[in-house]
Amino acid sequence: MFDNLSAKLDRAFKNIKGQGRITELNVAATVKEIRRALIDADVNYKVAKDVTDSIRLKALGQDVLISVSPGQLLTKIVAEELTVLMGQESVPVNLGGNPNTILIAGLQGSGKTTFSGKLAHYIKKKGHSVLLVACDIYRPAAIDQLKVLGAQIDVEVFAEIENKDVISIAKNAMKYAKAHGKKSVIIDTAGRLAVDEQMMAEISGLKKQIKPAETLFVVDAMTGQDAVHTAQAFNERLNFDGVVLTKLDGDT
């Protein structure tokens, strides 16, 4: 996704590279191409317009130093605006609690299980003993997939194959974690649609029972702008703490 956007932005900057000074004409042409690049990357039109309007105003409001070309200045302004858009602060995962518990939620096929393994590896490298919990009782081979990932990163996986009550599995996993000195518990859950009331009630009930330090919503980046609506629907039920975008090698 970012490679495609970067290539399109590079083409946009060709309008102003080599120019001796910034003018309304060359800025307008460049900003138009930047807006088109953002929209092609499935950025919401209003967001793309707000960002490019801000870029245009800042570009026209600055004097160009002798040592800085108009192209360099505009590149700097665009980088700053995109940084603001994506979020300027890095917020670490909340590792509070004993044990620390992280609930993973999202749609089917969004990459929750793979992300759970990656998150476990990340937390393990910080010196925490981690327990992965298999609470996807619906998808065939979901438990096996989590066990394979756990074996690859040397992280234990808690599963109760015959148990079909996710709240019971999670509670038993918490007891196991405390008894075996696990500092972090990552609960991988089944994929679900926001319109599936039974499944949404299940995960909201699970959250109420285990009271996780973090609830993370995992979404496939290739979903595009519809991911915003999906996240809003999930947030109404889960009040999650963060969104994880997977499959960023796509073009949206």
SS3 label, residue 83: helix
CA-to-CA distance for 236 and 248, rounded, in angstroms? 25
Question: Rounded to an integer, what distance in angstroms lies between the CA atom of residue 15 and that of residue 23?
Answer: 11
pLDDT at residue 13 in the model = 63
Higher pLDDT, 89 or 216: 216
Indicate if the pLDDT at residue 155 is higher than 90.
yes
Q: Which tokens is 57 given? A: 């105003």
| 121 has a pLDDT exceeding 90 | yes
Rounded to whole angstroms, the Cα distance separating 166 from 205 reads 10
Asked if residue 66 has pLDDT above 50, the reply is: no
Q: What is the average pLDDT score of the chain? A: 85
pTM (whole model) above 0.85: no
Residue 249 CA to residue 38 CA, distance in Å, equals: 16
pLDDT of 67 reads 47
Query: Given a cut of 90, is residue 123 above it in pLDDT?
Result: yes
Which structure tokens are listed for 49? 């317009």
Does 21 have pLDDT greater than 70? no
**Helix, strand or coil for residue 71?**
helix
Question: Cis peptide leading into 70, omega within 30 of 0?
Answer: no
Phi (first) and psi of residue 224, to 5 degrees: 75, -150
> Which pLDDT band, with edges at 50, 70 and 90, does 19 fall under?
low
Residues 6 or more apart whose Cβ sits within 8 Å of residue 195: 233
* More confident of the two residues 77 and 70: 77
**Closest among 82, 26, 92 to 56, alpha carbons compared:** 26
* Whether residue 93 has pLDDT greater than 50: yes
pLDDT at residue number 181 = 94
Amino acid at 97: G
pLDDT for position 29: 81
- Coil/strand/helix, residue 104: strand
Give me the torsion for CA of 148, 218, 215, 132, rounded to 10°: 0
Q: Say whether pLDDT at 61 is over 80.
A: no
One DSSP character per residue, 14-62 reads TTTTT-SS--HHHHHHHHHHHHHHHHHTT--HHHHHHHHHHHHHHHHTS
100-246 folds as Rossmann fold (3.40.50)
d(CA 219, CA 91): 19
Start-end of CATH 1.20.120.140 domains in the chain: 2-86
Q: Minimal CA–CA distance to 189: which of 100, 103, 93?
A: 103
- Report, as an integer, the average pLDDT of 214-240: 87
Q: From the CB of residue 248, how many other CB atoms can be counted at a distance below 10 Å?
A: 12
Q: Which residues of 33-47 are buried (b: 16+ CB within 10 A; e: fewer)?
A: bbbebbeebbbeeee
* Residue 151 CB contacts under 8 Å (≥ 6 apart), including other chains: none
Amino acid 86: pLDDT? 76
Q: Which residue has the higher pLDDT, 126 or 25?
A: 126
For CATH 3.40.50.300, list the domain ranges present in the chain.
100-246
Which range (27-31, 131-135, 229-233) has the least confidence? 27-31
End-to-end CA distance of the chain: 6
CATH of domain 2-86: 1.20.120.140
The DSSP bridge partners found for residue 214 are: 102
Q: Looking at the predicted structure, is the pLDDT value of residue 210 above 80?
A: yes
Sign of CA dihedral 139, 171, 178, 101: positive
